[in-house]
Amino acid sequence: MPVHRSGTTRRRRRLTLAGTLLAALSLLLAVPASAADTPARGTAYMGMGVRAHDGVHGKPTPDAAATQTEGVDVSSHQGNVAWTTLWNSGVRWAYVKATEGTYYKNPYFGQQYNGSYNVGMIRGAYHFATPDTTTGAAQAHYFVDNGGGWSRDGRTLPGALDIEWNPYGAACYGKSQTAMVSWIRDFLNTYKARTGRDAVIYTATSWWKQCTGNHPGFAQYNPLWIARYASTVGELPAGWAYYTMWQYTSTGPTVGDHDWFNGAYDRLQALALG
């Protein structure tokens, strides 16, 4: 005789199947969402993690007693930059992303680096550090070989090491504070050996405390470029009594990332000349 299943049994089977399908769908949706949170390698830029990790604490106001010289920093996100517009607005210097890790070169570097120079700006190049991929020395060589060098022409700033939150994973790139300090030293020593200049260090105080233990040992030779979107520059990393540059906003006119050089134009020229 045929077995007749009750309506209750059929309902249970349908509910079980529906629950299984819902769980599978949730899993499928979760994987792409997680992947989407991690940007593609090479897309990092100066200050990428500042708003998310350090926050925005009011509108920046320069010290009335100090002279500040306006600058900008750019990467491939800006594409071809309107340098004449920036020059006419009072911007007098620029830093351009040249490289990241040992795997990425900015495809807009030529237009940005030479374009800023051609309108009269003093310009430099920066490297986005990824200490979890290769050594500091390897990345310094890659940087110098791909636009991060220096020349004594009075219009070229020393290269900058952009060391901040890891956009691709753990904030400190999986390194201990001691290992991070060693990696940074490796990069800086190699850069100086290649160019004769001490590189600028770009960072945020909160990241520096977390990932280097607030190491004070680079302040004597390496100019500080501090990132903080606030009414004042706030606390500086240990060792530095003053900042050389301040990235004060990511929402400025024309390109977004705007900076102040802590001094008059002739002091900016002095930094370029070394």
Radius of gyration (C-alpha) of the chain in whole angstroms: 24
Other C-beta atoms closer than 10 Å to the C-beta of 249 total: 20
Residue showing tokens 């399908």: 21
Catalytic residue flag (residue 198):
no
Catalytic residue flag (residue 257):
no
Instruction: Name the active-site residue from 54, 100, 162, 259.
Output: 162
Helix axes 177-195, 205-212, angle to 10 degrees: 110
Instruction: Name the active-site residue from 164, 198, 257, 259.
Output: 164
Catalytic residue flag (residue 73):
yes
DSSP secondary structure string for all residues of 20-63: HHHHHHHHHHHHHHHHHTSPPTT---TTTTHHHHT-EES-----
CA pair distance 178, 72, nearest whole angstrom: 32
Instruction: Name the active-site residue from 54, 63, 70, 73.
Output: 73
Nearest to residue 139, comparing CAs of 163, 166, 108, 171? 163
Q: Which region holds residue 214: left if phi is over 0, alpha if psi is between -120 and 50, else beta?
A: left
Collapsing DSSP to helix, strand or coil, 128 comes out as strand
Nearest to residue 190, comparing CAs of 159, 156, 154, 224? 159
Question: Exposed, middle or buried, 207 (CB in 10 Å: 0-12/13-18/19+)?
Answer: buried
| Residues taking part in catalysis | 73, 162, 164
